[in-house]
A and B are shown apart, each in its own frame.
Chain A
C-alpha cells in the first residue's frame, strides 16, 4: 500500500491541469439534452480530441494515450476540478469502445474506434424495449438474416443520446425460436438508416435526452454484428459490467459535487439545520470513500484482478450518493431551489442536477436489480423469479 503519487504522476497531473485550464469552456455549456446544447457538447468532444484527451485509456492506434488506470483517475480528477462538461460520447468511451476492443474484429476496431475517438461519430445505446427494461432478456426486436444483411424490425426505448446521435448499438433477436438470453445478437447500426424513426422522449424537465427508436425493415450489413450471431447476451453482460463498474462514474464527478455542496453550505450556514450540516459532511465522506474504493479497484485490476458483481455495489453507492448530495443542496436552497435561474441569471445547476440524480438509481440497471445481484451473486442468497 503506497498512497503517494510518483513524480511522473504529479507531472502528468500538472500537464492535464494546464490543458484543462486553457481549454475548458469558462461558461457552463447548455444542457446536452437539447439540439443547441448537444452541438456544444459535440464541439467540446472535438476540442478534447484535438488535444488527444478524448479516449485517454485507449491504445494509441485507436486515438488514445494508453493511460493506466491511476493516470485515468488523475485525468478525471483534473477534468472535474476544471469543471469539464458532461461527455456527449459517454456511450462510446465507456461502453461500446471497450466492448469493441474485447469482442470486435481487427476490421471493426479500425473502422469504428478512431472516428469515435475523434468525436466524429457519437453513439447512442439501444438496450431497453417497451417490454424489456430491467428484464433485458425479454428483448423481442428481431433481426432476420437476408443474404449479407440483417433486416431489423421492432422498437427500442430510453435510448440515451439517440435524439441527436449518429450511430447506435443494441441487442436483437436473430433466432426467432429462441427464448430469454439465447438467440440474441449485438448489432451496430447507422441511426440515419432508411426505416429508422426516432421519436425524442420529452423528459420531466421538458428537455429531450433520450428517444424511442422504431425499426421498420431496416437493412444492416452483417459485418456490423459484434462477436457473432447469438453471442449478444455475453457481449451485453460485459458491456453492462463496464458501465456499472469502474468507468461509468469516476469519483472526480462526485468529489466536485461535494466541494460545491460545502461551498453552498457556507453560504447558507446561518439558516441551515444541524441535519443539513451532517449531510454535507457525510457527502464529503462518501465521495472520498468512493474515490478510495475506485483507487483500490484500479490497483486490483492493474495487478491482474477482475471486477464482477462488485460493480453492483459501486452503482448502488454512487447513484444514491449523488441523489443525497443534490437533495441536501435543494434543502439548503430553500425557496430558491425551485428557480430555474437565480436572480443573477445563472442556471440553477442544483435543480438540474437533482432531477438528473433521480435517474441514477434507475438507469444502467435499477438499484433494485443491483441489490438482487448483490444478494444472489456476492452473498449467495437463493435466486428466485428471473431465470
Chain B
C-alpha cells in the first residue's frame, strides 16, 4: 500500500508542465483562436517528447507506462489548456486499442500521423473528427457530428471520463492560480483585493475542493489500471469530484477578476470554457453521480471503513 507517485513520475509531469508553460502560454491560445485552432508544430513537439507513446507497450516502441502516469500528464494538459488532442489520442484511444488487441494502428499513433476518431454513445459529438462541424463554446475544441454507428464500450467511456477528470483538475489548478495572481496585484481601497477575507475564504474553498479531488483521481486511475470490478464507480467518483472542483473554481475565479473576468482580454475564459466542455464530456455529472449512487445505495459496492480500497 503506497499511494505515492515516484520521483520519476513526478519529474516527467514537471517536464511536461515546464514544456507547455514555455511553448503553450495564453498568447498561443489567442493565436490559435484566430488562426484555426490546430498547429502541426505544437503537435510535433508533443510527439517528439514521446507523449503519444506514453501508454504504448515498450515492445511496440512506446514507453509502456500506466494510466496513473497518463492521468498525471493529463492534469498538465488541462493546466495548459492544451488544444491539441493529445489526451484523447494517447491516453484514451491507445489504452482502448491495446485492450482490444488492435495494435496495428499504434505505430502511426506513436509517430503522430494518426489521431483516431473516438465516437461513443455517451457523447453527441466527436472531438477532432472529420464529419460536419459543430460549434463548441470552447473555441479551441474541434467538434464534429457523431456518426450513426457509435461504440457503447464501457472501457472507452471510463477512459474518456477518467482523462476528462484529470484535465478538469489541471484546469481548476490553473484557474485558481490565475485568480490568486490577480488578487495579489489588483488594488482597491488601498490594498490588494487578495487581502480581503471575503476573497481569501472563497479561494481557500477552491483549494480544498481541488486538494480532495486529486487523490480520488489517482485512486480511479489505479483502479482502472488494475482492472478492478469497481473501477467504474471510482472513475465516476473522480469525474464528479473534478467537475465540482472545476465548477467552483471557475465561478470563483471570474468573481475574483470582477468585470475584467468578463472580458476576452483576460485569459481566464479559455480555461473556463474548457472546463464547461469537459464537465459534460464522457458522461455528465448526473450520469456519473447516478453510477456511484447505484453502486453505493444499491448495495453492490461495499461501504464502511474497512472497505477503503474495495
Contacts and interface: CB of A to CB of B under 8 A. Distances in A.
Contact of B305 (A70, A76, A292): A76
Interface stretch (B36-44, B84-92, B206-214): B206-214
A371 interface: yes
User: B1, B195, B218 — which one has the most chain A CB atoms within 10 A of its CB?
Assistant: B1
A296 B237 contact: no
Interface in B188-231: 191-192, 194-195, 197, 199-201, 203-205, 207-208, 211-216, 218-219, 222-223, 226
Interface stretch (A24-32, A88-96, A128-136, A283-291): A283-291
A78 B306 contact: yes
A289 B3 contact: no
Contacts of B307: 255
Contacts, number: 173
A295 B204 contact: no
Given A4-B309, A375-B200, A380 B184 contact: yes
A376 interface: yes
Interface stretch (A119-127, A181-189, A217-225, A310-318): A310-318
A13 B306 contact: yes
A380 B179 CA distance: 12
A296 B215 CA distance: 7
Contact of B212 (A2, A252, A286): A286
A4 B208 CA distance: 27
A368 B226 CA distance: 40
A378 B309 CA distance: 29
B184 A296 contact: no
B215 A1 contact: no
B204 A375 contact: yes
A310 B194 contact: no
Interface in B263-310: 289, 292-293, 296-297, 303-309
Contact of B237 (A9, A285, A375, A378): A285
A1 B4 contact: yes
B177 to A, nearest CB: 9
Contacts of B172: none
Interface in A362-387: 368, 370-372, 374-376, 378-384
B292 A265 contact: no
A291 B308 contact: yes
B201 A3 contact: no
B2 interface: yes
A371 B308 contact: no
Contact of A368 (B1, B194, B201): B201
Interface stretch (A199-207, A273-281, A348-356): A273-281
B77 to A, nearest CB: 19
Contact of A3 (B5, B216, B223): B223
A265 B299 CA distance: 12
B165 interface: no
Contacts of B305: 76-78, 80-81, 251-253, 255-256, 259, 291
B309 A376 contact: no
A289 B197 contact: no
A295 B201 contact: no
A375 B218 contact: no
Contacts of A270: none
Contacts of A5: 1, 309
A22 interface: no
A6 to B, nearest CB: 7
Nearest to B290: A281
Given A255-B308, A289-B216, A281 B292 contact: yes
Contacts of B1: 2-6, 9, 70, 295, 299
Contact of A1 (B2, B205, B306): B2
B215 A310 contact: no
Nearest to B196: A384
Contacts of B2: 1-2, 299
B183 interface: yes
B213 A289 contact: yes
A256 B3 contact: no
B241 interface: yes
Interface in A302-335: 303, 310, 313, 316-317
Top 6 A-B pairs, shortest CB-CB distance: A375-B200, A292-B215, A252-B305, A374-B204, A371-B204, A299-B4
Given A13-B306, A288-B308, 19 more contacts: A2-B1, A4-B309, A5-B309, A17-B306, A255-B307, A255-B308, A278-B289, A285-B237, A291-B305, A292-B216, A296-B215, A299-B2, A313-B211, A372-B201, A375-B200, A375-B204, A379-B180, A381-B192, A382-B191
8 contacts: A295-B3, A313-B212, A372-B197, A375-B194, A375-B200, A375-B204, A380-B180, A381-B203
